[in-house]
Amino acid sequence: MSHTAHIPSHRKPRRGASKTAIRSGVAGGVLSTIALAGAAAPAHAEPVTETIEMPTLTSALAGGFAQSADATQQVAVDLELQAQEDAAATKAAKTAKKAKAEADRKAEAKAKAEKAARAEAAQERASRSTERTTLSASGSAAPSSDSSTQATGSAAAVLAFARAQVGDAYVLGSTGPDSWDCSSLVQAAYRQIGVDLPRTSQPQSTSGTQVSLDNLQPGDILYWGGAGSAYHVGIYSGGGKFIGAQNSGTGVVEKTLDWDPPTGAVRLL
């Protein structure tokens, strides 16, 4: 026996060739798989879970910011519209207040004018009454071939109606009973005797026979302007006077012809 027979050997027992080949193949496959995975994955790649979740979080936050911006912009638009509406309402209120003040001023001026006209008419009636009383007491009268006191029949009825309206207001287009314009008063006076005259002064100035201003009779229609184009009419009341709805300042009055000389006259009676 050799003196080394009992010394154990430090060499590893040799593996069989088949086992060695199998292990080498497995190890190579594993290393290849790891190499391929490393090549496919980007450097410093985030974990799959983080790579999937980050876009979702970013999109949600962006949508929230967009909604917040839209809401802020809508609030600004609403505030601007409200400010515009408030300004328009304030302006409308000021305009309405100004219009009301102007309307009140005009109404007050009109009322004063009508009051003054009525006072003037009342003063004239009182003056005429005083004159008649004086003349009656003295037993004399002014000579006149066409005095209103001599008007009879249809002319007297026309003049009675017209004279009863003295003191009423003048309003363009009005037809009574408390306000008139010139032609409506003439038309209404003649309607009392069944004569239906046109409504306006132009045709009224040609509704009868043209007569001279030197040959007037009570009840004749006086006109101002041309025959057929007259702009004003009245009724001759006798004694060198006429009755007419003159203007908004005087209303219905009885005046002398020289106060506002007419242009011509027509006779229907």
Q: Which of the four pLDDT bands, split at 50, 70 and 90, describes residue 145?
A: very low
pLDDT digits (tens, 9 = 90+) for 82-130: 989 888 888 888 888 888 887 787 777 666 656 655 665 555 555 545 5
Question: β-pairing, 251-256 with 264-267?
Answer: unpaired
Q: How far apart are CA 236 and CA 165, in angstroms?
A: 15
Please say whether the beta carbons of 228 and 205 come within 8 A: yes
Q: Does residue 268 sit in helix, strand or coil?
A: coil
Question: Under DSSP, is residue 156 helix (H, G, I), strand (E, B) or coil?
Answer: helix
User: pLDDT tens digit string along 178-196?
Assistant: 999 999 999 999 999 999 9
Question: Which pTM value belongs to this model?
Answer: 0.47
Give the C-alpha separation, 137 to 188, whole Å.
Answer: 36
Spatial separation of the C-alpha atoms in residues 1 and 20, rounded to whole Å = 34
Q: Give the other-Cβ count within 10 Å of 222's Cβ.
A: 26
Does the structure show a pLDDT above 70 at 134?
no
Q: How far apart are CA 253 and CA 148, in angstroms?
A: 15
Q: Please state at what angle helix 153-164 crosses helix 182-191, rounded to 10 degrees.
A: 140
Please give the domain boundaries of the chain with CATH numbers for all domains: 152-267 (3.90.1720.10)
Check whether the bond before 177 is cis (ω within 30° of 0): yes
